[in-house]
């Protein structure tokens, strides 16, 4: 094998690995919609039955959860109708403010913490998208390493999101279990799966950054260029 063939093989390795990591990130992001939507359905059903929050807020949350599940199904079939997530995002923001300002009489401190965590999840999710935008660049193998500090900050926000997602049901469990222990446990399980998905996304983003740095350090050109060079030598 001559040097051109070896370089072409290296480029193919980087591009294949990058494509697989991208696919892992995208599919995990899609599948994450389902535990998130199911967890929201459970939460707002318990809140509606218990009347722990105003019923209009619970109904709004139930509608938003259903739309989130619909969005997940549409994304599975290649139709990313992202605006369907807007109702549940706005609802969680309103719920967070309500929990901080009003809360549950018996657990004011706990609900205030949950409210802060809801806001943390929303902010962390948005900031992760802002700081890791280079990962979705067509030339991500080269571009990501140029923005390594931004990507690392974005991954940190993703880790923060993961921790917040898992912490919310744990703190709420004693409160929700007073009204339905089974549903409270279901909420913990659903959000735990969501947290696992968030962790997988963080890992895939970090691996894409590592791959990009190795690609640049190796000075690997694109496979198309390599193939042209091989043809010329032949």
219: left (phi over 0), alpha (psi -120 to 50) or beta: left
**DSSP 3-state assignment of 80?**
coil
Tokens of 190: 């659903």
Tokens of 34: 């389902």
148 belongs to a structural domain: yes
pLDDT tens digits for the chain (234 residues)? 455 555 555 778 888 899 999 999 999 999 999 999 999 999 999 999 999 999 999 999 999 999 999 999 999 998 888 899 999 999 999 999 999 999 887 678 899 999 999 999 999 999 999 999 999 888 888 899 999 999 999 999 999 999 999 999 999 999 999 999 999 999 999 999 999 999 999 999 999 999 999 998 887 554 444 434 434 444
Query: What are the pLDDT digits (tens) for 78-108?
Result: 888 889 999 999 999 999 999 999 988 767 8
91 belongs to a structural domain: yes
For 25, 132, 137, 141, the CA distances from 150, given in Å and listed in that order, are: 18, 7, 14, 15
CB proximity list for 48: less than 8 A, separation 6 or greater: 55, 58, 59, 62
Side-chain half-sphere CA neighbours of 22 within 13 A: 17
Domain that holds residue 88: 3-228
233 belongs to a structural domain: no
Distance CA 66, CA 128 (A): 25
* Percent of the chain as helix, strand, coil, to the nearest 5: 90, 0, 10
234 belongs to a structural domain: no
Q: What is the pLDDT of residue 221?
A: 53
Q: Where are the alpha helices (DSSP H) in 51-107?
A: 55-76, 86-101
175 belongs to a structural domain: yes
User: What is the rounded average pLDDT for all residues in the chain?
Assistant: 89
Q: Which residue, chain included where needed, has tokens 């991208």?
A: 22
Q: Which helix (H) or strand (E) holds 53?
A: none
Distance CA 141, CA 40 (A): 37
Q: Number of structural domains, the chain?
A: 1
For 85, 186, 193, the CA distances from 36, given in Å and listed in that order, are: 11, 12, 8
């Amino acid at each position: 094998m001559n040097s051109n063939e070896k370089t072409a093989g290296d480029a193919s390795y980087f591009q294949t690995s990058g494509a697989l990591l991208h696919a892992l990130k995208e599919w995990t992001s899609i599948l994450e919609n389902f535990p998130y939507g199911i967890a929201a359905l459970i939460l707002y059903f318990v809140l509606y039955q218990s009347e722990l929050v105003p019923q209009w807020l619970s109904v709004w949350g139930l509608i938003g959860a259903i739309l989130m599940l619909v969005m997940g199904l549409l994304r599975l079939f290649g139709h990313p109708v992202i605006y369907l997530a807007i109702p549940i995002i706005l609802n969680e923001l309103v719920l967070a403010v309500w929990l901080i300002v009003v809360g549950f009489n018996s657990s004011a401190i706990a609900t205030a913490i949950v409210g802060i965590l809801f806001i943390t999840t929303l902010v962390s999710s948005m900031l992760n998208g802002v700081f890791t935008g280079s990962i979705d660049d067509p030339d991500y193998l080269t571009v990501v390493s140029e923005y390594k500090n931004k990507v690392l900050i974005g991954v940190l926000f993703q880790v923060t999101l993961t921790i917040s997602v898992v912490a919310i049901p744990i703190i709420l469990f004693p409160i929700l279990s007073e009204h339905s222990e089974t549903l409270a446990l279901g909420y913990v399980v659903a959000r735990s799966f969501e947290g696992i998905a968030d962790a997988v996304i963080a890992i895939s983003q970090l691996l894409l950054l590592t791959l990009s740095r190795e690609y640049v350090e190796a000075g690997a050109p694109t496979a198309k260029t390599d193939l042209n060079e091989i043809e010329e030598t032949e």
